[in-house]
Amino acid sequence: MKRRALAILLAGCWALTGLPATADTAAEKAIRDALTKWTADFNGRDATRICDLFAPDLRYDFRGSPERDYNAMCSLLHRALGDRSKTITYSFDIKEIIVSGDMAIVRLVWTSRASQEGSSQVTETKEPGLDVFRRQPDGKWRIARYMAYEAP
């Protein structure tokens, strides 16, 4: 009887500690997938869903630039993808994801590589940043806030 009670107690403890970790793992995977999808869309110049990574109430700060919102971000992305005289590609390196309920913080470094048509010169820029994701009513994780800056 004591063994059965102990087994039930241990199973209950595992369930209480295991479920949030599973939810956090699912959220982390969804966030990684969203970042990967956005990167593939941008690098493939697919503008059809290029703004899907961002929440409608987006606010972002990039060192040296004024605070911007969703509409400004989408406009910049569409202009960048539409300018065929430049080639820009992105990659990212996630340093950390912290999930708490419907919010997540992602510490990462974006690397952009840019070249101009007719030139063999490639400019690489590293942009450390902090993205705040929020689970949206449709269940998707989108960036609601972010801050980034160019690494020296």
Domains along the chain with CATH numbers: 21-148 (3.10.450.50)
What pLDDT score does 78 carry? 95
DSSP code per residue over 3-45: HHHHHHHHHHHHHHHHHHHHHHHHHHHHHHHHHHHHHHHHHTT
Report how far residue 11's alpha carbon sits from residue 37's, in angstroms, rounded to the nearest whole number: 38
What pLDDT score does 17 carry? 46
What pTM does this model have?
0.81
Q: Among candidates 79, 114, 89, 91, which has minimal Cα distance to 36?
A: 91
DSSP code per residue over 99-148: EETTEEEEEEEEEEEEEETT---EEEEEEEEEEEEEE-TTS-EEEEEEEE
Percentage of residues of the chain with pLDDT beyond 90: 72
Report how far residue 18's alpha carbon sits from residue 136's, in angstroms, rounded to the nearest whole number: 24
Give 8's Cβ-side CA count (13 Å radius): 5
Count other C-beta atoms under 10 Å from residue 23's C-beta: 12
Strand partners, 99: 104
What pLDDT score does 56 carry? 97
Which of the residues in the chain have pLDDT under 70? 1-23, 152
